[in-house]
């Protein structure tokens, strides 16, 4: 800017390799996820991070499931899609396991 000030990106923005610094991160699992019981076959599920529906990840469902707490696992299996709030470290691991789309 001409007055000597600068504009910095939002502190909550995230790129595919970094997570925002918050107490929890919202994950939305949509396609190809198990319902009721975890599928015995390895499948890649689609997950969106912090309601960014312009960029999703495909992540091995079994690896995601291992990172969730028992309560989150139950919520994950409860329906055709799942919306979970997880710790930033868990979200970062899920993102690092995924292939972006």
Structure confidence at residue 12 (pLDDT): 43
Hey, where are the domains in the chain? Answer: 25-100
Per-residue pLDDT tens over the stretch 45-95:
999 999 999 999 999 999 999 999 999 999 999 999 999 999 999 999 999
Q: Which residue has the higher pLDDT, 46 or 4?
A: 46
Dihedral sign for Cα 84, 55, 93, 80, please: positive
pLDDT at 15 over 80: no
pTM: 0.75
User: Is the CB of residue 57 less than 8 Å from the CB of residue 98?
Assistant: yes
Distance in angstroms (rounded) separating the CA atoms of residues 77 and 73: 6
- Please report which confidence band the pLDDT of residue 42 belongs to, taking 50, 70 and 90 as the band edges: confident
């Amino acid at each position: 800017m001409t007055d000597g000030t600068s504009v910095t990106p939002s502190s909550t923005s995230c790129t595919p390799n970094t997570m925002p610094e918050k107490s929890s991160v919202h994950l939305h699992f949509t396609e190809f996820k198990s319902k009721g019981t975890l599928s015995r076959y390895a499948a890649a599920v689609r997950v969106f991070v912090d309601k960014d529906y312009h960029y999703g990840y495909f992540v091995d469902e079994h690896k995601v499931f291992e990172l969730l707490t028992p309560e989150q696992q139950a919520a994950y299996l409860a329906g055709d899609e799942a919306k979970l709030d997880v710790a930033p470290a868990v979200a970062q691991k899920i993102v690092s396991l995924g292939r972006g789309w």
